[in-house]
Structure 1
């Protein structure tokens, strides 16, 4: 059971109270508000306010004409999502290692959280040393990375424009896109070609290619990228070969998490 601390900041104390109530509710099928308030050591009026809020959010049920409360299945749904993402990362990691071993290049996996692109996995090349600043948990430059371009390109126009309007177009190299208009045109190209490219836009001498990963509903949930040197990829043929390799890996990951390309094409 969580212990309430009166010295905690108000916002932190409120969070502790919520989780204290959740834990108390999880210990029995249902519980009366008087018993629950004793367990979590808070006034009944306070417990009632929290319970009513949690009820309105869909996490708690209240028996009709009763003061008894219970948890509902929305929390189970959240737990299932956690399991899904853990399975997704394990599946992706295996395919990323296969791709790294085949191409000898560094592979990244990223997701979009609001207006941020977050690295969630990285499999570094064991043969080539690239001056990469990427780390799991860090952000990728949304306008100067293939990952960022892919995770924005397929958004609806309104969402895309809202995100682009909030981008700080920092110039990392002479090749970095630094205007909203040019970036929106670039996103159109990405959607048309099916992959995004960072052509020395984040770091000189570095070229990256990224493609989308789809979930079982056909939504893009992540992007897979391959980073290489301009000296190992300086022709259209070499680019096409690497894009083909990473596309096959992304397609395999998508398939393993339930995506059906044929069903998507029929929608």
Structure 2
């Protein structure tokens, strides 16, 4: 049975129907709930027990009354946080783009892939970038990916590196675990990651971490430019300084301070 089958869709609709019914009362008996959502008590009971086991629903002891708990509130708060974070980041990314005239990316990590969650393209220069919001990219050929791995604990870092398929995109792409681990140590030492024509020839990217209020790295910010516009160490230092200031501002606006920084 596929996830898009009629049976699966019907089950999802039933779950949300139950959630909406539960949200209208402090608690509700299963008989009343089954009437509200127009399904047999046995079916409603099965869904409620599953939702209870997942931690979204409470059941009164020795009772057939059910109620929602705060786990859904926690999910809602996370949604609000991420929406607020993306709005804050987008504003700072546009400022950085306008100041540097370069393309800016924001990404998070999912396993051994990065996911672009925002992109602000240069309005002055055209780069042959394949990145799009929602697209994934491998961590080993990305400044963003390097930053999102560099500060992990050693065990997590090595485990993730072992899972990477080191595809060679250009002659400069890192293709060995040993070289990549050494690169991650260098990223942590310098405080920023670099993609020096490793994903696309003619393209350089610099990336820095973004911290949340607990001092944990939750995302990475990058600036993409051409090798012709960044050809000297002075050019690199200037761009890294600009992007570091923007990332620090985003981190500050979402609650980070130097005292809360993780020691990892």
Partner of residue 204, structure 1: 201
Q: 1:128 to 1:158 in 2, by over 3 A?
A: same
Maintained 8 Å contact 1:6/1:13: no
TM-score of the superposed pair, with normalisation by structure 2: 0.93
Number of matched residues? 264
C-alpha RMSD over aligned residues: 2.4
Query: 1:127-150: CA deviations, max 9, x gaps?
Result: 111111111111123110100111
What is the deviation of 1:120? 0.7
**Counterpart contact for 2:105–2:221, Cα < 8 Å:** yes
Shift of 1:90: 0.6
- 1:63-97 alpha-carbon deviations (Å, 9 max, x no partner): 22211111111111100110100010110011001
Give the gaps of 5 or more residues in structure 1.
Answer: none
Could you give the per-residue CA deviations for residues 10-59 of structure 1, whole angstroms, max 9, x where no partner exists?
44443333222112211222111112122333332232232122222221
Q: How does 1:34-113 map to 2 (within 5 A)?
A: 34-113=31-110
The answer (yes or no) to whether the contact 1:33–1:68 under 8 Å persists in 2 is yes
Answer whether contact 2:215 2:262 (CA < 8 A) is retained: no
Q: Structure 1 residues 99 and 6, CA, compared in 2 at 3 Å: closer, same or farther? A: closer
- Mark the CA change 1:96 to 1:5 in structure 2 (over 3 Å): closer, same or farther: closer
Aligned partners of 1:5 and 1:13 also within 8 Å: no
Please list every run of 5 or more consecutive structure 2 residues that lacks an aligned counterpart in the other structure.
Answer: none
Q: Specify the SS of the correspondent of 2:51.
A: helix
Give yes or no for contact 2:112–2:138 (8 Å, CA) kept in 1: no
Instruction: Give, in whole Å, the separation in 1 of the partners of 2:161 and 2:125.
Output: 34
**TM superposition shift of 1:62:** 1.4
